[in-house]
Amino acid sequence: MMPVTRAGSVARLLLPFALAFLTVAGVTAAAFAGGAATRAQVEDPNDTKGMLDVRRVWFESEAGPPRWTVVTFSPWTAELTRDRGYVFVYLDTMGDARFDLYALILSNGRRLSGSLWRDPPKGSDVRISGLDVKRDSDMSVMVRIPLPLLDIGEFRTAYRWTVVTTFTGRVCRATCIDRVPDEGAFEHPIGSPTPTTTPTPTPTVSPTVSPIAG
């Protein structure tokens, strides 16, 4: 059993709820040869200390289910990130001023696991389901989020997303946080392959919930 309150309490102090407007460069989409699925690449600079500094995010909207692959500048292991490193994918499916869902990736020291959470305006976060997590290298992690698990608002034709990593260690005693994009969020029309950037409040990383199995 592994509590995840530590990541939530630290990151909540360091991620103020602020509205930001800007466009994000480095978003490209390339079609897979011989297939209908597409993959969007989001580049991020080497701007954060710690081993979870994000280098790029691959977003595959039509992978069935959609999947996000987070690639870092440095290698890392499940052992090194236990109770120290977390990866989040925040989702806004209701079109209001906040993110209402997030995927959480954490380590029990031997392997990584993923779960989907609902972040209600009031009360504790609610675990919805486990998620499929996979590593293709020691510098990446992939998570799939099935759309049927998302409570998409009525008449909504798009959802927004952003990726956040947090790490605490020797060079990150105050917790290093990386966010992609740095401000705002990517908006993805449902059924369309390429995300665009829209302003949105910075999410509060808040997995202040009861322990879950590692």
Alpha-carbon gap, residue 177 to 174, rounded angstroms: 9
- Ranges in the chain, pLDDT < 50: 1-4, 7-37, 192-194, 206-214
Q: How many CB atoms lie under 10 A from the CB of residue 171?
A: 10
How many residues in the chain?
214
| Burial class (CB within 10 angstroms; exposed 0-12, middle 13-18, buried 19+) of 120 | exposed
pLDDT for the residue numbered 64 = 79
Q: Please tell me the predicted confidence (pLDDT) of residue 39.
A: 78
pLDDT tens digit string along 60-111? 987 778 999 999 999 999 999 999 999 999 999 888 778 989 999 999 999 9
**Global pTM value:** 0.76
